[in-house]
């Protein structure tokens, strides 16, 4: 199959996940809990997307993932 042929290809299946954790702000070391719902291919992909989202939209600091739940559709 050539790269420009997309006739019979299906997009990967995505699932809904709830990712929970703690964000530790670099400025004052304060901790905030977070929960984010996200669509991803698997739990590792969900964590990667959440960390990317936090890096772009949360105050600078570290995140600790405490739990991940796959939601039934």
Three-class secondary structure of residue 37 per DSSP: strand
15-25 and 61-71: which strand pairing? antiparallel
DSSP states of 10-30 as a string?
A: -PPP-EEEEEEEEEEETTT--
- pTM over 0.85, yes/no: no
Q: Does domain 15-71 have CATH number 3.10.20?
A: yes
The predicted structure's pLDDT at residue 50: 97
C-alpha 72/C-alpha 70 separation (Å) is: 6
pLDDT, tens digit only, all 73 positions of the chain = 455 555 667 788 899 999 999 999 999 999 999 999 999 999 999 999 999 999 999 999 999 999 999 997 6
**Where in the chain are the domains?**
15-71
């Amino acid at each position: 199959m050539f790269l420009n042929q997309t006739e019979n290809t299906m997009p990967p299946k995505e699932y809904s996940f709830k990712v929970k954790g703690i964000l530790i702000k670099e400025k004052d070391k304060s901790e905030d809990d977070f929960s984010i719902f996200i669509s991803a291919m698997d739990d590792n992909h969900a964590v990667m997307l959440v960390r990317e989202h936090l890096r772009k939209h949360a105050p600078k600091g570290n995140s600790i993932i405490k739990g991940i739940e796959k939601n039934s559709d």
